[in-house]
Amino acid sequence: MDDYPLLNLFLTMLYLFLWVMWFFLLFKVITDLFRDHSLNGWAKAGWLVLVILLPYVGVLIYLIVRGRSMHERDEKLAKDSEAAFRDYVRRAGAAGTEGGSGGNGHVNDLAKLAELKDKGAINAEEYEQAKAKLLA
């Protein structure tokens, strides 16, 4: 370790970091290229050839020319994913409160049974029978 100065170690770490970040940027550009539905196949092929044959220049040109629309596509994807998640949660919550096959249906039914038992509408034996029937 004595023949490798500290500054060279820091420079090596910096180069490694920049190299890894370059690959992240390259993959981001390629995934954005294939995700864009406004480009036809020839335009996508042209951009891909440019990015692969002249990687640094091609990626920089892509970012300059299509950087703003790249951000808009990312934003649209995030909004669509959030809307799909909210819709899933809403449907899952509705299925659970209906008492159907959702996991929350049994919980709600057991809570109603416990409430009926506490009010005295059913006795302990009826409560246990109904609970066993629900959990079966």
Q: Which range among 28-42, 73-87, 93-107 shows the weakest confidence by mean pLDDT?
A: 93-107
Q: How confident is the model at residue 97 (pLDDT cuts 50, 70, 90)?
A: low
Q: Give the pLDDT confidence score for residue 120 in this predicted structure.
A: 82
Q: What value does the mean pLDDT take over residues 25-46?
A: 91
pTM: 0.57
Q: What value does the mean pLDDT take over residues 12-31?
A: 94
Q: Give the pLDDT confidence score for residue 125 in this predicted structure.
A: 86
Q: Give the pLDDT confidence score for residue 103 in this predicted structure.
A: 53
Q: Are 30 and 51 in contact (CB under 8 A)?
A: yes
Q: What value does the mean pLDDT take over residues 57-61?
A: 92
